[in-house]
């Protein structure tokens, strides 16, 4: 399973509708579970993660991956029976040192600054794309 912990408010209705289009196509273990928390409570929530969870922070200072590279990064822990936890910060997206030290990977969606709600939609689409790449689907055109 892929858990996405997002700081800030729940999806705007237009965003939820768009993200739902990708999420309904996901199959276990690629399915998404959203958890929304106040941005200041992200460290507290992350501290409660299972030690086996593979945590990926979304941060503008992280690594940028191609879609096939991201698919591989997500597939490996899932195939090893680990949950993947993606953490999206709130509007300012800064993470305290204890969270960056806990992270298995720090991923940047782009060199651009993006609104965190748009990041949520991009993440849902990229998880679907990663699933399709891993299963040899036709969605991703290499």
Q: Are 86 and 2 in contact (CB under 8 A)?
A: yes
Residue 14's pLDDT is: 87
CA distance 87 to 56: 6
Angle at 35 between CA 45 and CA 70, to 5 degrees: 95
Residue 117's pLDDT is: 82
Q: Are 59 and 10 in contact (CB under 8 A)?
A: no
CA distance 5 to 123: 12
Residue 47's pLDDT is: 94
Q: Is the pLDDT of residue 142 over 70?
A: no
Contacts of 59 (CB under 8 A, 6+ apart): 89, 93, 95, 100, 106, 107, 108
Please provide the size of the chain in residues: 142
**pLDDT by residue (tens digit) across 128-139?**
999 999 999 988
**pLDDT by residue (tens digit) across 66-120?**
999 999 999 999 999 999 999 998 766 678 999 999 999 999 999 888 887 888 8
Mean pLDDT of 54-77: 96
Mean pLDDT of 11-16: 82
Domains of the chain: 2-134 (3.40.1280.10)
- CA–centroid distance for 11 within its chain: 15
Mean pLDDT of 1-28: 89
CA distance 95 to 97: 7
**pLDDT by residue (tens digit) across 24-47?**
999 999 999 999 998 889 999 999
């Amino acid at each position: 399973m892929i858990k996405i912990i997002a700081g800030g408010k729940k999806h705007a209705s237009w965003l939820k509708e768009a993200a739902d289009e990708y999420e309904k196509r996901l199959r276990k273990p690629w399915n998404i579970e959203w958890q929304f928390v106040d941005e200041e409570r992200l460290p507290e929530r992350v501290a409660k993660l299972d030690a086996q969870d593979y945590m990926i922070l979304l941060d503008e200072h992280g690594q940028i991956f191609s879609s096939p590279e991201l698919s591989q990064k997500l597939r490996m822990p899932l195939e090893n029976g680990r949950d993947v936890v993606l953490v999206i910060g709130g509007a300012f997206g800064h993470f305290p040192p204890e969270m960056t030290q806990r992270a298995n990977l720090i991923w940047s969606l782009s060199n651009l600054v993006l609104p965190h709600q748009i990041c949520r939609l991009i993440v849902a689409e990229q998880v679907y794309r990663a699933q399709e790449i891993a299963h040899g689907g036709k969605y991703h055109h290499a």
